[in-house]
Amino acid sequence: GKRRESKRQKPNILVTGTPGTGKTTMSTALAEATRLRHVNIGDLVREKNLHDGWDEELECHIINEDLVCDELEDLMEEGGNIVDYHGCDFFPERWFDCVVVLQTDNSVLYDRLSKRGYTGSKLSNNIECEIFQVLLEEAKDSYREEILLALKSDTIEDVDRNVATLTEWMRLWHPST
Ligand code: ADP
Ligand code: MN
């Protein structure tokens, strides 16, 4: 049958960026400020086993993108979600009203990831990912430029400013007609 056309009454926001750029920190603060639902994809994958095992080389779960998208479809249709993940090219484009790419100065990111215990190639791969703006390019390839927002995330003041920017964006957002 014909798919029911749903107009979500609250927006969905995707927060992406290299690991360590502050996605979870900013998403948590934004969820508090807006009462939107914070969906941390990494946590969801672990809790619901939406993966195909462990990648020994990259030291992370091999995420099953189809399972993740199936799991999220109803929530995303309902609206009012902040999706937090270091990838963005496998979600349906129609899900999001705003796509935020967080960016961090290389030396700041290096310190954050070292503190997190990253060493060797895991550390250098993520720093390279940030240097080459991999997530910004991925977002540009996957979503319309009009809904893309690249935001600096070096300091705590940046978190506050980004939350304020997005709260204001949300205040002006209306369901599409
Ligand atoms: P991600 O979810 O993108 O991997 P996190 O939110 O877990 O990043 O942040 C990684 C670390 O950096 C945490 O210790 C957090 O407190 C810190 N952090 C995140 N964003 C900022 C920021 N804008 N300024 C200072 N510290 C930050
Ligand atoms: Mn995180």
Q: Which atom of ligand 1 is nearest to the CA of 25?
A: 6
How sure is the predictor about 131, in pLDDT bands with cuts at 50, 70 and 90?
A: very high
Determine the distance separating the centroid of ligand 2 and the alpha carbon of 86, expressed in angstroms. 8
- Nearest ligand (C-alpha, residue 26): 1
* Angle at the Cα of 135 from the Cα atoms of 134 and 141, rounded to 5 degrees: 95
Query: Residue of the nearest CA to atom 14 in ligand 1?
Result: 112
Max Cα distance, the chain (Å): 54
Q: Hey, what domains does the chain have and what are their CATH numbers?
A: 13-164 (3.40.50.300)
Query: Rounded to the nearest 10 degrees, how much is the dihedral formed by the CA atoms of 70, 74, 78, 81?
Result: -40
Angstrom distance (rounded) from CA 51 to CA 49: 5
Model confidence pLDDT, tens digit, residues 152-164: 999 999 999 999 9
Model confidence pLDDT, tens digit, residues 98-108: 999 999 999 99
Between β-strands 51-55 and 60-63, what pairing exists: parallel, antiparallel or unpaired?
antiparallel
Q: Which atom of ligand 1 is nearest to the CA of 17?
A: 3
Angstrom distance (rounded) from CA 79 to CA 12: 6
Phi, psi (degrees; rounded to nearest 5) at 2: -75, 135
Model confidence pLDDT, tens digit, residues 66-92: 999 999 999 999 999 999 999 999 999
How sure is the predictor about 57, in pLDDT bands with cuts at 50, 70 and 90?
A: confident
Query: Residue of the nearest CA to atom 5 in ligand 1?
Result: 22
Contact 153, 159 (CB under 8 A): yes
Q: What percent of the chain has pLDDT over 70?
A: 96
If you count DSSP H runs as helices and E runs as strands, how many of each does the chain have, helices first?
A: 7, 7
Determine the distance separating the centroid of ligand 2 and the alpha carbon of 24, expressed in angstroms. 4
**When comparing pLDDT for 147 and 5, which is higher?**
147
The gap between the terminal CA atoms of the chain, to the nearest Å, is 22
**When comparing pLDDT for 95 and 5, which is higher?**
95
> For the residues 43-47, what does the mean pLDDT come to?
97
Kindly tell me if the per-residue pLDDT of 1 is higher than 70.
no
Bridge partners of residue 98, in order along the sequence? 13
Q: Complex ipTM, two decimals?
A: 0.99
Contact 138, 129 (CB under 8 A): no
Q: Which atom of ligand 1 is nearest to the CA of 155?
A: 24
Contact 122, 73 (CB under 8 A): no
- pLDDT value, residue 177: 66
Kindly state if the Cβ of 161 falls inside 6 Å of ligand 1.
no
Angstrom distance (rounded) from CA 39 to CA 43: 8
Model confidence pLDDT, tens digit, residues 2-27: 555 668 999 999 999 999 999 999 99
Query: Residue of the nearest CA to atom 27 in ligand 1?
Result: 22
